[in-house]
Structure 1
């Protein structure tokens, strides 16, 4: 049997972090077993589904690298198939027309609630042996309801939650097609999973209540029932359900915030799943390890501090050329023409290497690179504090030593600063800090000799000249 999983988001919003974890687990399970991962867009909610949301979902999947093997399939393009199956069910007696009006249904629910009963359809249009149904009322378009069994239980062995059993008496005859003929969510999902030979449905536990209805329809169609694994919800750092105020709006916001996709994936993999004490691993290793047995049934808690720690780890390990491309993209968004600024005297890769172990995300890295490209002007406060007459005299002397250097390497640069400080009767920081203020517009940086080496002779001398003029 070929394992076939699917990720089936509704395009009514962005791909959020919970959806991304569901996609990751479904993708990894298929990869682990040499199976197929299907992307399906459940866009039957026409009023709320938008092309922009579809694109946002696809963009998020691509950014994470969760490539699908089939699809994307769109439910709105499968309407003829749904109508075909509904017609077959009506003919087989597993579905029937219901002419109950909206007003009648509202009245029924009000009466049931007054009696403190669970609101449910009472089966008044359900065909039964010996039961005489009234003539369909004029002007009322019927819905189509599934004829759910009224006895026994529907049960499944959930791969996360264990054995689940629901009495059929708790389920009413739910609508599978509205009065305008459009099929409903629970019906479309069943037909899609059936037609696409889905073997494992991995999804959030907000779908648990849908599962018994879907199983009953699958069985009525004579279809094979897939294995189900319902993932627990994700809580925010504060222990509350993850929401927009926790930053759970769009996966692409993590890109905008400067996270690397491999850090986000590694973090998501550990949200509700574990492999011993392993914290850091790539996706190939994850797919080799991943199983459904080690998914916890309890809620997972999002930990931003842990995600930041992972992101810093992956930044340190990332290729400098790749990080430079990411930084360049961010600087261009700020209006900095990186290509025009990258003249021969400035290779930005050493700058990336200098800072990537000192920052937590790509935005911080871009901020660190920015002053190497465009000379900042020190604030009046910094200038008053650090660019005193003794400091300016020391920088003037240092400028002469730097211009005469044959070897523009950190060791020689460091020696030039030390010699200047000694000759001027100053301590090393009394030269290094004013130099940082002149070159970078800030009093703190990595080792000043490494900064000089990365910035290059021409830029260092030009910035000193401008300040000393």
Structure 2
């Protein structure tokens, strides 16, 4: 088969969510794992529903996740001349024909078939056959173009996910592959989805089609068109549906979020890739892995056959593991952006890396990490409950003394720790009595990592001012 060529072909008729982009992940990963080519194709022929905003979200989501295409984005609406060329050739070769059955006639036909408990289908009235006389062409009816589907026998393929799939050709009527233009202009009209997909896959030399299993019923028709044009079909892998947490198909209607919202909520691209990979594929019992490991392991033989169910708690857990292992220099700009979204201005000399190192093990997302670090760049507001519980009359004198002590020490964690110990000794207190009070006043909360390390990352003046404010 030569070089592997995969494609991701979303329709920009709504924002892309995790269920959609999982197909992109596997197509991209298979191309990368095999040294192949990954093509991005935007299927925008549904002009009424396609939007530039949806295109932008697709491109932005793929950039964020690192699904960089080798070719594209290619837009179907820019290929109309090519589709019409192929349609004209098919008409000339007798592979397709014009059908003048009106919508009203087609509706009446379907009604009769349903009353007879037959499957509604086009009956081939305008299909040319040897020795058959066609009706006279009616005036004022713009024809559709139908593909002349094979009669008898079956069409089958070995799906990399579902195994052998076979359809009887007698179940497939003659597919409409072009509809009249809305203004009635032109002899060919508007090509339909199933036709455009085939021409694209041929022209782009696609070898592997990895897509959702809602396309299974389209596949036999696409295979027939491919073969009529002299090409064998690619290898298909139809992925099971991704369900939401209520067991419904993931969709905007059922509460799915745009992929870019996960970025904005502070998830790491590698964490999302890791989670999505395991939502329909496995490598033994491995739960947490790097992008490089995933690409080393990925193949189509271990794609799951069952629907994957999205679980945001599991996604957060996976992301938390990636937070812990991500280099602080990588986290720092991501956290800085989150801090700016929180309305905080960072000093030019702000060093987020040591802050990330200290707090990242407590956080599932960069947004959570930014919320922790906000105490360094904005005011804190300890709750009245925490103040009453920890800033008691018994520790107030020690807090004042600690402020004096810390005003004269070298400003690093060891010296701060010694100052705290001296204060504890001088007032006969234990760390669990003094430390929560210091945390509440300086950090706005009673629990933090090691107190000396936390305080050392503040400006000295900020710590002293907050200790003295109460």
TM bucket (normalised to shorter chain) is over 0.9
Q: Name the residue aligned to 1:102.
A: 103
Q: Which residue of 2 aligns with 1:371?
A: 375
Structure 1 match to 2:392: 388
Structure 2 residue aligned with 1:327: 335
**Which of 429-438 and 121-130 deviates more?**
429-438
Cα distance change on mapping 1:288 and 1:388 into 2, 3 Å = closer
Aligned counterpart, 1:17: 18
In structure 2, the partner of 1:445 is: 448
The answer to whether the Cα contact below 8 Å between 1:194 and 1:224 also exists between their aligned partners in 2 is no
Q: Who is 2:293 aligned against?
A: 285
Map residues 110-259 of structure 1 onto 2, 5 A cutoff. 110-180=111-181, 181-244=189-252, 248-259=256-267
Give distance in 2, aligned partners of 1:12 and 1:237: 24
Counterpart CA distance in 2 for 1:26 and 1:424 is: 66
What is the CA distance between 1:245 and its match in structure 2?
Answer: 7.2
> Which residue is 2:69 aligned to?
68
Whether 1:403 aligns to 2:407 is yes
In structure 1, the partner of 2:7 is: 6
**Contact kept in structure 1, 2:12 and 2:51, CA below 8 Å:** yes
Contact 2:267 2:366 in 1 (8 A): yes
Task: Evaluate the alpha carbon distance shift between residue 347 and residue 4 of structure 1 in structure 2; reply closer, same or farther with a 3 A threshold.
Answer: closer
Query: Are positions 1:55 and 2:63 aligned together?
Result: no
Deviation (angstroms), 1:322: 2.1
Measured against aligned partners, the alpha-carbon deviations of 1:284-306 in whole angstroms (never above 9, x if no partner) come to 22222211111122222223332
Q: Tell me which residue corresponds to 2:86.
A: 85
Contact 1:145–1:173 under 8 Å retained in 2: yes
Instruction: Name whichever of 111-120 and 62-71 sits farther off.
Output: 111-120
- The CA deviation string for residues 370-422 of structure 1, in whole angstroms up to 9 with x for no partner, is 0111131333443344333333211110111111213x332332232232123
Deviates more, 1:396-405 or 1:440-449: 440-449
**For 2:381 and 2:374, how far apart are their aligned partners in 1?**
13
8 Å CA contact 1:186–1:210 kept in 2: the answer is yes
* Deviation of 1:11 (Å): 0.6
For the 8 Å contact 1:347–1:454, the answer to whether it is kept is no
SS in 2 for 1:60: helix
Which of the residues 432, 436, 443 maps onto 1:433?
Answer: 436
- Give the drift of 1:78: 0.3
Task: Measure the CA separation in 1 of the matches of 2:297 and 2:255.
Answer: 29
8 Å Cα contact 1:421-1:430 kept in structure 2? no
| TM-score scaled by length of structure 2 | 0.95
Q: Deviations over 1:295-337 (max 9, x none)?
A: 1222222233322221111111112122121111112122211
Deviates more, 1:151-160 or 1:387-396: 387-396
- Consecutive unaligned residues of structure 2, counting only runs of 5 or more, are 182-188
Output the CA distance in 1 between the equivalents of 2:7 and 2:305: 21
Which 5+ residue runs of structure 1 have no aligned equivalent? none
Q: Give the whole-Å Cα distance in 2 for the aligned partners of 1:137 and 1:231.
A: 45
Distance apart, 1:426 and its partner CA: 2.6
Aligned equivalents of 1:455 and 1:96: distance in 2? 77
Name the SS for the 1:356 alignment partner: helix
The partner residue of 1:460 within 452, 460, 463 is: 463
- Give, in angstroms, the shift of residue 174 of structure 1: 1.0
- TM-score normalised to structure 1 length: 0.95
Count of residue pairs brought into register by the alignment:
462
2:270 to 262, 266, 282: 262
User: Following the alignment from structure 2 to structure 1, what is the Cα–Cα distance between the partners of residues 452 and 139?
Assistant: 89
CA RMSD between the two structures: 1.6
Output one character per residue of 1:75-133: Cα deviation in whole Å (capped at 9) or x when no partner: 00000011110101111111000111111111111111122211111111111111111
What is the rounded CA distance, in whole Å, between the counterparts of 1:85 and 1:41 in structure 2?
20
Per the TM alignment, residue 20 of structure 1 is displaced from its structure 2 partner at its CA by 1.5
The secondary structure found in structure 2 opposite 1:230 is: strand
Shift of 1:246: 6.6
CA distance in 1, matches of 2:352, 2:460: 14
